Structure 1
Amino acid sequence: MRENPAFKLLILFVIVFYSFDANCQQSEQDVIDSLRIVNQEISKQRELVDNYNRIAMAFGAINIDSSLHYSNKSRILAIEINYPKGLAVSHSYTARASIQTSNLKAAIENFHLALDIFKQENDSINILDTYSGLSYVSSYGSSQLKTLNYNLEALAYAEALKDTLKLSIIYNNIGAVYKRLKNYDPALKYFQKSLNLDLPKGNPTALATGYSNIGVLKVEHGKFQEADHDYKMVRRFLPKVNSEYLKAYLHVSLSGYYNGIDELDSCQYHINKAYEYSIDNKYPHIRARVDKRHGELLLKKKQYQKSIKLFQESLDRYTQLGLQEEFPTIYKLQAEAYSKLGLYPEAFEASRKENLFIDSLQRTKVTSIMDEFEEQNRKDEFARLNLEQALKDQQIENTKIQMDNRTNLGLISISLLVIIIGIIVYFYIKTKESNLKLQESEDSLKSMNASKDKFFSIISHDLKSPFNAIVGFSNELSNSYDDYSNDQRKMMIGIIKETSDSALSLLDNLLTWARSQSGFIQFNPEKIQLHSLVETSISPYMGAAKMKNLRIQNLVAEDCEIYADKETTQIVISNLFNNAIKYNNTNGEIIISSISSKNHIEICIADTGIGMSEKIKVGLFKIEENVQRPGTSEEEGTGLGLILCKEFVGKNGGDIRVESEVNSGSSFYFTLPTA
């Protein structure tokens, strides 16, 4: 099943600015009414411009015409009073409203006008949003290089601002570019990176979008079985999505999946829902897509005349929108329908148009490549001029240095005075450093005492308790074996086994910790294939995961390599995975993923379990704190495993942290150097 390249899969850019639904319209109207009242009380013109923009934004959720009206009023007044930032914001809201009315030319023009002003104002947040908007609109054109460049510009700002929400959107948009270029693996990679950022936050809108993006990509490549899980997640989150614009896209996405697996009734249901949203809200580009999808369904149902009519309606709508990317596919389907009816001249004409538009699109792509080549030439020329100017500047700087050197002799006497002052300061600092070292020694001693107290606590209680149970039940069986039934004896033996396993695990962690404190663990960094190491580390615990019916996903790329000590890294992964099982709910999920950067790789082990409070998070990696608690199946723990994790990650040159909320699962992140 071939997807529309211009469809863009549910691009998250749209969600950021239009994540509202009919249930929110009353509250939005209340906001608008309040802002209108404020308008009557505002005396300063700049405040009035800002308020017009706020009304335009609020109307963006319920009435696009009104949104355009108020952003236009803001623009006129901003020009009149020379208020650049207010003018830029009005252009930005005009562009976003133009997207919903499918006026893409106006959207591009207004985004560029806004971008020029935001750059003059050094407004990084709005520059980022504007580049994201331009990448979305340009994705409907033929220049994928331009779309990718906009995304890379946005990516630089998002990384500087550490904005994970925008990073997720940008990864999603880059994945869409690769999808249009028919490059499956990098498209899937970036869609998955986007989803990995959204998973810990649990936002249903973002998660529905992420899973749909991956599902559409798999459906397009005929991987229907692999797409099954993704569409289950889409159906799970769809009722919680607020944006009707996004709901329309999600229903189109689901209809394509069901059409591909021949569940035609489900396909028809989602087509009907998409029609409902696109007609009620006047989304012409979605309507064009739904007409084409409905035509495909009727073609499969052998209702050829009706399918031909819908294909033509889809072509007409795409023509009005100025979009031709789907023409070859629609003409091909139309030719098939004519052929089934025996209308061979019409089938031939549709096939001729299919080939004509394939040629036309190829020529457009060639023109696009030439435009990009010319644009690169202009950039190279600009870089050459900059280099020449830099050389001139360097010559001027060299002349200045020579003149400065002539004055240096007159500064020697001042330098001698500075040296004397420096000697005095040096002795002052050394004295202060001595005091600091004393303080550090005191802190170190406190830490050692805490370690000693923890050690004896574990020996006296946590290790002694299981052996009390083992000895007690063993004595009872030894002395009074015949007094108990078979079931009672089996129960006692089971308790002895479980307690022995728990004691052995505790003893193993305790010995490892003691070895690390004594300096007996040797760190031998080497190049390691991370995906394989994860599989090896979690293998011993898969039985426990199965007992809770947990779904385990190892999403670490198979070509991902780290440079670390293998033994200690395996201990870190094993402890974190065991914790994820311990504190997860039955039928939950554990996802292991990684994100690569230039110098390190960040590994995330995320679960859908009971989470933790802020108080527990603060004391997790401190040996002097007692934050252990039983698991969801009353599993015991000492908190020592996480102390080991922190120590071993640190010795491998990385950091460890946790993100968690009560009843919302936990995500443990740690970094390791790249190979």
Structure 2
Amino acid sequence: MKYRKALTFTVLLFLCTLFSQENNKVPFSLFFKEINKLKLKEVNFTKTSHFFLKKEWDSVLVFSSKALLFNKQQNINNYIHYMRGYSFMKKKLYTESLKEYEKVNTNFPFYHKIIRNLGGISLEQRNYKKAILYFEQLNNITDAVSAYEKSSVIHDTGIAYFHLEDYKKATTNLLKAIQLQEKKQDTLLLIGSYMDIANVYYAQYKDNIAIPYFEKAYELSNKVSDFEIKRKAALNMSVVEENRKNFAKSLAYRKEFEKWKDSLTNQQKIWSVAQFEKKLAISQKQKEIDLLASQNKLKESQRNNLLISSFLLLFLLIISVYFYIQKNKNHQIITRQKEELNLLNKTKDKLFSIVSHDLRSSVDLIKRTNINLLKKIDSLKDSLLSNIVLSNITTANTTYNLLENLLNWATLQTKQLYFHQESVDLHSIIKQVEYNFIPLFKSKNISFQNQIPTATFIFADIDSLKIIIRNLLDNAVKFSHNNGIISVHSKDVDDLIQFTLKDNGIGMNKTIVNNLLKETSLLNKKRNQQEIGTGLGIQLCKTLAQKNNATFTIKSTEGKGTQVLLRFKKP
């Protein structure tokens, strides 16, 4: 029995912190959003809300009492009394807190939090039946209660029933709270809930159910930095192992308990010293203020000088904070730019590697073809000679396109590309680009069909549009069969013009299409290794389409061909 008493005492110790844990979840941002809507510029009210946000409760109480003298509107006073009641509650002055809460009207936007706090105060004062009544009121206004608050209310309801020795209701509420907290993954509240439900079962001699919860609480306590929680979890496990007659493990947990206890004691000593120093500083400051107040009657000029000095110090503080924030922002910008630079360097290295390989291959191909041509030029027939020259022209044209893409890519990266959107005749642009591809079409006997109606206007930059169409045509020719068909057409889609380039070539599978459409600046080698290509063209098309506020889509079926669809705005 003494072990069970020890565990019950442990859970009672833990319960003392539950209320403060719940109040850490108060949505201050939502509260101050409502305060800002009031647009109240009264100095004392502004200072009250400022210190409330800083959780400096003594300062809240000082300035709120002054604010009540200058504000007679009930809706404003509701906020002041709420902040005063909350501050008294945090200082554990529950009688004063209740008096302030009583002065708040029920139409106050955060009145449900007052009900929550009244229930918590009743729980602290061990008036468990009254606490349950407050908690049950919250069940009727669930829309205003957040998921965190809901789990905390249900949990505290279970604790109240536990103290009333109604173990069935205590178990039901605690398990429901645990379920909600597990969804929200609130580690600190879960540790407490696991300990509480374990003690409820332990009080009913259901050791086999209780012990796993103690173990869960202990495992989670290893993931938090709160010495108090670690200490209680270790103490619980020590008592459990001692009750199991496993004294070696119990001793180990006891040593761990003492370690956390020493850490907590040191932390509390540091906190006590800090609080003492703070009180001493406040006391000293108050003496200085009193002294200045008496001197003000004799030396008005000194008071003005002190006021000016205070403003200067405040200004310097603001400037210091501003420069500190700017320094952090600059550091973040430099870090981000460094990461982007590293990524660009990787892209550059990969680009140079692929481009140099492809350029070397294409130039070597022209070189070898010209050597063979020179050796056999006298014996070659006109038709065969034409084919060789046409092949060389095709290879040179592809190499030229690669170099042009490289130049455009470098221009984009350095943000030097001139860009001006205007009304552009799509049919005319297609005709201009088509002219440069006539030798390539002839080399594979490809039929090109421009089915775009005349006077089809889109809103785009003309130079970047030509780069897009030229790269798409180049790819279509590369991956088309001899005697293939390449066509372009357009249609209206809502307020946009859809431009489609279609071929009946080798096509691509879904994996290749997805890789081409990925949001990445890294380059990939084309699948057809016999053709010159780096994937740079598609990257340029996607980037330039985005700059033109156009969408870029690829549809392809392996063995049947590819469609590239772009949707531009109408002028």
Task: Report the TM range for the smaller structure's normalisation.
Answer: 0.3 to 0.5
Task: Give the alignment's TM-score, normalised by structure 1.
Answer: 0.33
Task: Give the alignment's TM-score, normalised by structure 2.
Answer: 0.39
